[in-house]
């Protein structure tokens, strides 16, 4: 059972809103670039576009993790590791409210990547 669930949920909702604003700004920039692009340097603008897309993807990843965490709060599954089913420590949840894995599963995942 997570004691600070309301606090964590508030953190998640605040961060979700920040990300929504950041993503909508990126989207607007992209639209205005397209409008002046007809005679522009295609290669340069596509390189810039890639940078923006990768930034956008990081935000999108985080956004999806937050959406997942909020969904888990609603279904009462929040605070359980999605890998092993053990409870995630509350200290970890307060530092990383979008955590869906316990520390040992997260470490195992990161070791596997490198």
Q: How far is the CB of 80 from Zn ion (least distance, A)?
A: 9
Cα angle 38, 25, 35; round to 5: 10
DSSP 77: -
Q: How far is the CB of 86 from Zn ion (least distance, A)?
A: 5
Of 83, 90, 92, 94, the one binding Zn ion by CB under 5 A: 83
Of 81, 90, 94, 96, the one binding Zn ion by CB under 5 A: 81
Of 13, 25, 84, 109, the one binding Zn ion by CB under 5 A: 84
Residue 105 near Zn ion by CB under 5 A: yes
Q: Which parts of this chain interact with Zn ion (CB under 5 A)?
A: 81, 83-84, 102, 105
């Amino acid at each position: 059972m997570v004691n600070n669930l309301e606090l964590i949920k508030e953190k998640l909702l605040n961060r979700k809103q920040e990300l929504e604003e950041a993503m909508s700004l990126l989207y607007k920039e992209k639209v205005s670039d397209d409008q002046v692009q007809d005679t522009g340097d295609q290669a340069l603008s596509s390189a810039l576009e890639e940078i923006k897309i990768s930034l956008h993807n990081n935000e999108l990843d985080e956004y999806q993790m937050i959406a997942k965490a909020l969904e888990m709060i609603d279904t009462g599954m929040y605070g359980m590791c999605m890998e092993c089913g053990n409870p995630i420590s509350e200290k970890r949840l307060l530092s990383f409210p979008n955590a869906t894995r316990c520390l040992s599963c997260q470490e195992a995942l990161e070791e596997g990547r490198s």
